[in-house]
Structure 1
Amino acid sequence: MSAGGSHKRIIKELSEITQSPPQGMKVSLVDESDVHVWEILMDGPEQSVYAGGHFKLLLTLPKDYPFKPPTLAFTTKIYHPNVTNDGKGAMCLGLLRSDEWKPPNKIAAVLDMTRSILVEPNLDDAVEGAIAEEYRTRRKEFDRTAREWVGKYAGRK
């Protein structure tokens, strides 16, 4: 796929997502002149400890998308086993790894999967081992800390 083809694919996916966004999400370009960087505003799923929170994520598409996966990062701090706790907010999502990404995959599927891991973390693919261990063995403490972070960083009303 040429650079023009990649650009067309991105425009098509952006159009589909903005017209029919995944549940609890709003998608827009960070800068209208760059279709490779998207801002996602996501509400914490009701059935999760993140309910009531409003999270901002940054999706960056490589120049050779869809042959290379996008990167997705939480810019809102979140206490979660699959999101780095280093201020970068990088997500560990199997679908986004180079060896698992396939060109037919779509950004809508990435966003749906992101929402689903807020409900049910993937502990086998955790980037924050201590948080994953806490989730496994001391769930009440995990839930309490995650809710505190939602209140502190994600503007829970």
Structure 2
Amino acid sequence: MLEMKSLQDEPVEGFKVTLVDESDMYNWEVAIFGPPNTHYEGGYFKARLKFPVDYPYSPPSFRFLTKMWHPNIYENGDVCISILHPPVDDPQSGELPSERWNPTQNVRTILLSVISLLNEPNTFSPANVDASVMYRKWRESKGKDREYIDIISKQVLSTKADADRDGVKVPVTLDEYCVRTQVQPTDDGYNLLYDDYCDDEDLEDDEEDEENEDCCYDDDSGNEDS
């Protein structure tokens, strides 16, 4: 309840959270808006965030309801990201314990990690091998092989019907996307407005850094280049 109130008072850019059922605080519906200046611009992606009864000692699960083609998203919509992995020491996974879930994390950090994951996939041990191979072909061809991007564009376009049905206006400019948060008056009496996490550089489609912590290590995933 405290986290829901916090997100309502100080929203995260690009997200809208509501309860699936007002009587069930453990099951949230998440709407994700594609960040401007990225291949997901104009997209309206729906997901479910489910909390275990021992939260925050165990991580919630995050599953996309909208069909997603992404190296780190399983075909059933489950997101494979380090921050949502249980806090166990598993040397075989390739993950450091510090990269996994811990009780200091919260919904806000999860949402920001998901946005980062969309634009910066990790292809070293993917959840969707075919999407990973296609993404790497696109990168290595410097954009000439557009199969991956064309699929993303079609998925973004297909979400417009959902947005219209839900009566949602999807932000497509930085001004619409950014949430301006009112902060407490300064000592000289002025109120300041600031854009939380809303720097143009943060919203650019930075495809240069694959080695982020948002990854899925699965020994059975196979060789992505095969």
TM > 0.5 between the two? yes
Amino acid at match of 2:129: G
Report Cα offsets for 1:74-129 as digits up to 9, x if no partner: 001111111112xx200001100013110111110000110111121122342001
CA distance in structure 2 between the partners assigned to 1:101 and 1:71 by the alignment: 11
The answer to whether structure 1 residue 151 and structure 2 residue 141 are counterparts is no
Structure 1 letter corresponding to 2:116: S
Question: What is the percentage of aligned positions where both structures have the same residue?
Answer: 34
| Counterpart contact for 1:60–1:71, Cα < 8 Å | yes
How many Å apart are 1:48 and its aligned residue?
2.1
For residue 79 of structure 1, the aligned residue among 45, 69, 87 is 69
1:45 aligns to 2:35 (yes or no): yes
1:129 aligned partner: 129
**Structure 2 CA distance, aligned partners of 1:113 and 1:125?**
17
Q: Match for residue 107 of structure 2?
A: 107
Counterparts of 1:125 and 1:31, CA distance in 2: 35
Match of 2:86 in 1: 98
Aligned twin of 1:19: 9
Structure 2: which amino acid aligns with 1:111? L
Aligned AA for 2:49? L
Contact 1:45–1:118 at 8 Å: present in 2 too?
A: no
With over 3 angstroms needed to count, the CA separation of the structure-2 counterparts of 1:57 and 1:146, relative to structure 1, is same
Structure 1, unaligned stretches of length 5 or more? 1-10
Larger Rg computed on CA atoms: 2
Quote the Cα distance in structure 1 between the aligned partners of 2:60 and 2:125.
Answer: 18
Q: Find the aligned partners of 1:125 and 1:34 in 2 and give their Cα distance.
A: 35
- State the 1:133 CA deviation: 1.1
- Any unmatched runs of 5+ in structure 2? 88-99, 140-145, 162-169, 171-226
Residue type matched to 1:155 in 2?
K
Normalized against structure 1, the TM-score is what? Answer: 0.86
Q: CA deviation at 1:47?
A: 2.8
The alignment's C-alpha RMSD in Å is 1.5
| Structure 2 CA distance for aligned equivalents of residues 138 and 108 of structure 1 | 31
- Report the AA paired with residue 2 of structure 2: K
Report the CA distance between 1:138 and its aligned residue: 2.9
TM-score normalised by L of structure 2: 0.61
Q: 2:26 matched to which residue of 1?
A: 36
1:64 aligned to 31, 54, 62, which one?
54
- Which residue pairs with 1:3 in the alignment? none
CA contact (8 A) 1:30 1:37 kept: yes
Q: Which whole-Å CA distance do the structure 2 matches of 1:47 and 1:116 have between them?
A: 14
